[in-house]
């Protein structure tokens, strides 16, 4: 969110005058008014109280790099090169740029909004600001493309397990890359590859998109769901969900590399679904 600093000041739920906000942010009151308008256009529920100032009515789920790192398994943060962006064309594309630039560690990119989010076969991935999770990881494999058979489903199992550990019920997978709840599609995984076809190092860019707070989806041509719709009483942040997914993926990938997909299905914790909702090859 472009007005993140303003939202952070308002996040205590108290009424703040325009003058006080302007002083804390080092800008004019006119600039504060413009930021308030922008934040409201981006979906923030801010009340304007005449003669007193502004109040954030409902919590805004801000992305926070420190919170994500604090939520993953101890010591694992040293393995990651985590980038949290306000806006990007595509988190997958940003991971590619970081790999090309020689980023040290496992590149992980999150963004509040994607302007050119992609699904399979060039489809547009709806990426409204502040509502969902857009997360991509760069994963390295050895042995050429042939060692990657089943990887998309392995990543799906990892995401489903992470969600079920958080308490999301009835998470299902649909070949090759969809994550479902009983009332519709919750998210998807886009796997893109760079490297040598027969042997050698392969870079996998794994993009994970999940509907978290999404309340509408203009242009989506299939039933869809969101975590907020299915679990309205929960208070998960996007940061918590991201931490759980990063941990689950980093647990799954070494196991998949060691045993392959055929044995991974038996070595990995199962996804608790009926057989018609867990569609494995």
Decide the pairing of beta strands 53-56 and 201-211: unpaired
Q: What percent of the chain has pLDDT over 70?
A: 85
Residue 35 CB partners (closer than 8 Å, separation 6+):
3, 6, 27
How many whole angstroms separate alpha carbon 171 and alpha carbon 186? 9
How many whole angstroms separate alpha carbon 99 and alpha carbon 116? 19
* Structural domains for the chain: 4-56 (1.10.10.10), 65-267 (3.30.930.10)
Q: What percent of the chain has pLDDT over 90?
A: 51
pLDDT of residue 38: 85
How many whole angstroms separate alpha carbon 75 and alpha carbon 62? 24
Sequence length of the chain is 281
Helix 29-41 to helix 18-25 angle (10° resolution) is 100
* pTM for this entry: 0.83
User: Which runs of consecutive H residues, i.e. helices, occur in 44-189?
Assistant: 65-71, 91-100, 151-166
Q: Who wins on pLDDT, 242 or 271?
A: 242
Mean pLDDT of 62-74: 95
pLDDT for residue 12 is more than 60: yes
pLDDT digits (tens, 9 = 90+) for 178-212: 899 988 899 999 999 987 666 788 999 999 999 99
pLDDT band at 276 (very low <50, low <70, confident <90, very high): very low
């Amino acid at each position: 969110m472009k007005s993140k600093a303003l939202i952070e000041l308002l996040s205590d739920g108290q009424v703040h005058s325009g003058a006080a906000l302007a002083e804390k942010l080092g800008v004019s009151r006119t600039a504060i008014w413009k930021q308030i308008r922008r934040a409201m256009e981006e979906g923030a529920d801010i009340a304007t109280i005449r003669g007193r100032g502004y109040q954030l009515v409902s919590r805004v789920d801000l992305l926070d790099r420190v919170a994500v790192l604090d939520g993953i398994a101890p010591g694992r943060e040293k393995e990651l090169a985590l980038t949290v962006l306000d806006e990007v064309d595509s988190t997958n594309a940003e991971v590619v740029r970081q790999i090309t630039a020689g980023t040290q560690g496992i590149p992980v990119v999150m963004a509040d909004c994607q302007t050119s989010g992609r699904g399979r076969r060039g489809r547009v991935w709806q990426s409204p600001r502040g509502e969902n999770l857009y997360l991509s990881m760069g994963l390295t494999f050895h042995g050429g493309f042939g060692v990657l058979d089943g990887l998309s489903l392995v990543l799906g199992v990892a995401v489903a397990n992470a969600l079920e550990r958080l308490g999301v019920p009835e998470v299902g997978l649909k070949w090759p890359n969809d994550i479902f709840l009983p009332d519709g599609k919750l998210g998807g995984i886009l796997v893109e590859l760079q490297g040598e076809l027969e042997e050698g190092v392969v870079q996998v860019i794994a993009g994970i998109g999940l509907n978290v707070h999404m309340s509408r989806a203009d242009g989506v041509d299939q039933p869809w769901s969101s975590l907020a719709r299915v679990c309205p009483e929960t208070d998960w942040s996007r940061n918590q969900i991201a931490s759980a997914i990063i941990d689950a993926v980093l647990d799954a990938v070494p196991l998949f590399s060691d045993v392959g997909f055929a044995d991974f299905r038996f070595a990995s914790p199962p996804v608790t679904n009926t057989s018609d909702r867990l569609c494995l090859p």
